[in-house]
């Protein structure tokens, strides 16, 4: 116990003397949590649409007005040839081309039918996909309005329509911040904890101080605990700051128990720090450790279920995410923060993360060799 006391004292002194680390731990979660959720938004806005109106009728005007009024589209060009519009797409000035053919109004009234042409610039896949989907919705809506106007009173011969009214549970307004903030916080905790520990032991190797430690009768698990505990505390500080930002900036108040969240984070941090320590026992230089950690963090972040839903991944990728601790944290954070899940609900995830923590730290202790 005494040895650990001395190790902790040393480690904390070194941490607090390192301005970069202190700044990272405080500024990173605050700044990133303020910037990222505002920018990382799934909603596609500002879709640039070029309209080729060959009809110039009141109906075509109505349709265009409806499209612009939806708020998702910006009219970048109006009334020119397809060639000109195509050039707009080529220069990335337009994402969509909507062509309203000649006789649009006439055909709509007389024939009860008219085709529109939509061309999509698929370079930016997400924008193109969602943009054209929005556009189609707007056109369908327009279609329905038109149909309503045509219906003669008393004539009920129209097609029956099914209207689906959905309500979004746990995030009724589909507020993206509610969805992103817990996820981004999960990633921040992972990155700060993982990187700090991965770099720490390697730094001692680089500077040569580890040699002086290895020649003392210090126990291996003492040394590892002496590294683990300070960064575990820092991880909790980051998490607390994150919760404060979520509350003050986004007004997100966890529905579930704070105590439960800290309980899960406590175990989770052990797992992530264990990974960092394990990496640092393998690497000789900070550069190596940095790259190896990056390799894992990239996979963790992109396959963690924050930016792409795990449910829509191929089966092999779903298997990979089972070994991704971040995916469990993001899931649990959302469960507790938004849904108010209890211990019973998160028990499976907690168990898995505990196994991660145990295995990674045991490997780190095993692989840290005082004698080569």
Position among 46, 112, 129, 209 found at the interface with another protein (CB under 8 A): 209
Span interacting with another protein, options 5-13, 140-148, 154-162, 335-343, rule CB under 8 A:
5-13
Task: Give residues with Cβ within 8 angstroms of 135, minimum separation 6.
Answer: 47, 49, 67, 73, 96, 98, 118
**Quick check: 19 binds another protein (CB under 8 A)?**
no
> What does the alpha-carbon distance between residue 182 and residue 303 come to, in Å, rounded to a whole number?
16
Neighbours of 171 (CB within 10 A): 14
Task: Give residues with Cβ within 8 angstroms of 318, minimum separation 6.
Answer: 310
CB of 213 to another protein, least distance (A): 8
> What does the alpha-carbon distance between residue 221 and residue 223 come to, in Å, rounded to a whole number?
5
**Quick check: 286 binds another protein (CB under 8 A)?**
no
Q: Nearest CA to 112 among 143, 72, 90?
A: 143
Question: Is the separation of the CB atoms in 224 and 204 below 8 Å?
Answer: no
Span interacting with another protein, options 12-20, 85-93, 248-256, 337-345, rule CB under 8 A:
12-20
**Quick check: 91 binds another protein (CB under 8 A)?**
no
Position among 58, 159, 167, 372 found at the interface with another protein (CB under 8 A): 372
- Beta strand residue intervals within the chain, DSSP E: 47-53, 73-78, 96-100, 117-120
**Quick check: 9 binds another protein (CB under 8 A)?**
yes
Sign of CA dihedral 171, 174, 175, 178: positive
Question: How do strand 117-120 and strand 73-78 relate by DSSP bridges?
Answer: unpaired
Give the nearer residue to another protein in terms of CB position, either 154 or 208.
208
Give the nearer residue to another protein in terms of CB position, either 145 or 211.
211
**Quick check: 284 binds another protein (CB under 8 A)?**
no
CB of 12 to another protein, least distance (A): 11
Position among 122, 123, 151, 207 found at the interface with another protein (CB under 8 A): 207
**Quick check: 170 binds another protein (CB under 8 A)?**
no
Give the nearer residue to another protein in terms of CB position, either 5 or 247.
5
Position among 137, 216, 314, 322 found at the interface with another protein (CB under 8 A): 216
**Quick check: 3 binds another protein (CB under 8 A)?**
yes
Position among 68, 218, 313, 359 found at the interface with another protein (CB under 8 A): 218
CB of 273 to another protein, least distance (A): 21
**Quick check: 13 binds another protein (CB under 8 A)?**
yes
Span interacting with another protein, options 14-22, 142-150, 229-237, 339-347, rule CB under 8 A:
14-22
Structural Rg of the chain based on CA atoms? 28
Classify 92 in phi/psi space as left (phi over 0), alpha (psi -120 to 50) or beta. left
230 burial class (0-12, 13-18, 19+ CB within 10 angstroms)? buried
Give the nearer residue to another protein in terms of CB position, either 62 or 370.
370
How far is residue 305 CA from its own chain's centroid?
7
Sheet holding 73-78, edge to edge: 73-78, 47-53, 96-100, 117-120
> What does the alpha-carbon distance between residue 33 and residue 38 come to, in Å, rounded to a whole number?
9
**Quick check: 14 binds another protein (CB under 8 A)?**
yes
CB of 367 to another protein, least distance (A): 16
**Quick check: 367 binds another protein (CB under 8 A)?**
no
Span interacting with another protein, options 90-98, 213-221, 286-294, 351-359, rule CB under 8 A:
213-221
How far is residue 275 CA from its own chain's centroid?
22
> Which residues form the interface with another protein (CB under 8 A)?
2-3, 5-7, 9-10, 13-14, 17-18, 207-209, 211-218, 370-372
């Amino acid at each position: 116990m005494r040895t650990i006391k001395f190790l902790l004292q040393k480690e904390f002194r070194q941490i607090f003397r390192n301005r970069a680390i202190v700044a990272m731990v405080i500024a990173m979660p605050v700044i990133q949590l303020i910037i990222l959720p505002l920018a990382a938004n799934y909603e596609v806005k500002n879709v640039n649409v070029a309209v080729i109106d060959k009809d110039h009728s009141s109906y075509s005007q109505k349709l265009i007005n409806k499209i612009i009024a939806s708020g998702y589209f910006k009219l970048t060009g109006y009334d020119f040839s397809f060639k000109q519009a195509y050039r707009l797409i080529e220069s990335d000035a337009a994402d969509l081309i909507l062509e309203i053919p000649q006789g649009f109004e006439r055909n709509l009234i007389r024939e009860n039918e008219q085709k529109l042409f939509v061309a999509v610039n698929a370079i930016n896949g997400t924008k193109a996909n969602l943009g054209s989907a929005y556009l189609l919705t707007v056109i369908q809506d327009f279609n329905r309005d038109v149909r309503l106007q045509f219906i003669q009173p008393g004539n009920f011969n129209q097609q029956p329509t099914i209207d689906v009214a959905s309500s979004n549970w746990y995030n009724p307004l589909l507020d993206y911040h509610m969805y992103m903030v817990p996820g981004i916080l999960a990633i921040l905790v992972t990155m700060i904890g993982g990187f700090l520990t991965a770099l720490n032991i390697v730094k001692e190797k680089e500077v040569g101080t580890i040699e002086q430690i290895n020649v003392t009768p210090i126990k291996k698990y003492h040394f590892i605990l002496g590294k683990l505990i300070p960064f575990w505390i820092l991880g909790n500080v980051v998490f607390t700051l994150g919760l404060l930002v979520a509350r003050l900036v986004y007004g997100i108040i966890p529905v579930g128990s704070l105590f439960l969240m800290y309980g899960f984070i406590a175990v989770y941090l052990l797992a992530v720090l264990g990974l960092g320590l394990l990496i640092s026992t393998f690497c000789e230089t900070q550069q190596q450790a940095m790259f190896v950690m990056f390799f894992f963090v990239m996979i963790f972040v992109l396959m963690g279920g924050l930016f792409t839903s795990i449910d829509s991944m191929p089966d092999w990728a779903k298997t990979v995410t089972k070994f991704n601790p971040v995916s469990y944290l993001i899931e649990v954070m959302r469960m507790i923060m938004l849904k108010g899940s209890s211990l019973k609900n998160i028990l499976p995830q907690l168990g898995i993360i505990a196994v991660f923590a145990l295995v990674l730290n045991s490997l780190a202790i095993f692989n840290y060799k005082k004698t080569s």
